[in-house]
Amino acid sequence: MDDIRPAISANPPRLLDQVRRHMRDAGYAWKTEKTYIHWIRRYILFHGKQHPASLSDAHISQFLSTLANERSCSPSTQHIALNALVYFYKKFMGVPVDALSFSRAKVQPRLPVVLSHQEAMLVIEHLHGLHRTMVALLYGTGMRLNEMLSLRIKDVDFELSTITVRAGKGDKDRTTILPDQLKPLLEEQITRVACQHEQDLREGYGDVYMPYALARKYPNAAKELAWQYLFPSTGIGKDPRTGVLRRHHLHESALRKALCKARRASGINKPIKCHTFRHSFATRLLQQGYDLRTIQKLLGHSDVRTTEIYTHVIRRGAMGVVSPLDGP
Q: Please list the active-site residues.
A: 144, 169, 275, 278, 301, 310
Closest alpha carbon to 105 in 68, 71, 76: 68
Report the alpha-carbon distance of residue 205 to residue 18 in Å, rounded: 34
Measured distance CA(93)–CA(2) in Å, rounded: 28
309 and 111 Cβ atoms separated by less than 8 Å: yes
DSSP 307-325: HTHHHHHHHTT-TT---TT
Question: Helices in 92-208 by DSSP H: which ranges?
Answer: 117-125, 129-141, 145-149, 183-202
Name the nearest CA neighbour of 144 among 254, 240, 242, 275. 275
| Amino acid letter, residue 111 | L
Task: Tell me the C-alpha distance between 143 and 179, whole Å.
Answer: 12
Paired strand residues for 1 = none
Q: How far apart are CA 274 and CA 257, in angstroms?
A: 10
**Of 97, 109, 105, 56, which Cα lies nearest the Cα of 79?**
105
Do residues 163 and 303 touch, judged by C-beta distance below 8 A?
no
